[in-house]
Structure 1
């Protein structure tokens, strides 16, 4: 058990440069939220729903992280800071990182039906701060969801999603050769599809040609005006 705790703490330290010691990580709200969730989830699976909810509410009050007792969470899950909501049928794989103010929300809550309503995050996914991942979709392994993105469709393995509604940058995670990207957002790589860049370059070239033609027409008119004035 102690060895497992040390391994978990070291996995957080590998993703977060802020802590100066393992003991400091034990004060993280995300660590405590996961600890209480393990208890609540055990109670939930044992059909002790009231007690599971009680532990959940206490954890939310203490950590500002709301993880439904029914959510399934793998190894080395890390919520960096708080104010995160994870729904009942969410399924989270191993080594997943979520930053503050993220929602793993359900779709169509007004139909009164159960079943899978929340996202599945596969192994090594990173979700940036403020992102909203909604519905029974799957975020593929090693995918990154950028800050404030809204994701309502399946995310391919290794893709990076940005924007409202989120779109793929078409730059696979292997491009950076990095195992971990803070906040799930690359800051030194192109975030637009190559086709958009080519289209912009073409438009800029056309604009330069139009400016040259306009300058030539102005010079021609100026020469004609000067000639007319000389003839007079």
Structure 2
């Protein structure tokens, strides 16, 4: 790992160019330790980086090095204890315009796509692309599917998609080229004062299938 200063009030820890869950968990561990320091104001984890913001009036560059450097060589074999958030997904009809594309790409049926997508837990790696958009850990290789050649001008809020080996959820309407295999009625951007987003890096998401009627019932409940 390498420590570089980005500005007078921020620095970045780089952990090579290749992503692995082991490296990612190490960065999460460092993030959690540094956030216990009052002078640290924010820590943003990426695939292989951790960008940390601090109060320069309370922490000098030399003090930053003294605090951070020990963590660069300290290994932790523990997996982070993120929250487990269960997300209902309707994989049917208009909510899943590309599920047949994914099925055909792998010569399987749509029920198998649903089973493979919803049977594993996904870790939230980071939020990006759009506010609150969670990039999740890899899907089963049997449903990994390339992005669309021609992106849609607008993807509905709550759409669940696959792009290559990754899966994610669109928290708001936006253009996008992911293969849309379902939609959730859950709002990922509650915008509460102490919780602007439903999920955070390090959390885990469990998808589970629901019917269209269940979707409409939950959607109505979410928007009361």
TM-score, L = length of structure 2: 0.26
Greater fraction strand:
2
TM-score, structure 1 normalization: 0.26
Structure with the higher helix share, 1 or 2: 1
Instruction: Pick the structure with greater CA Rg.
Output: 1
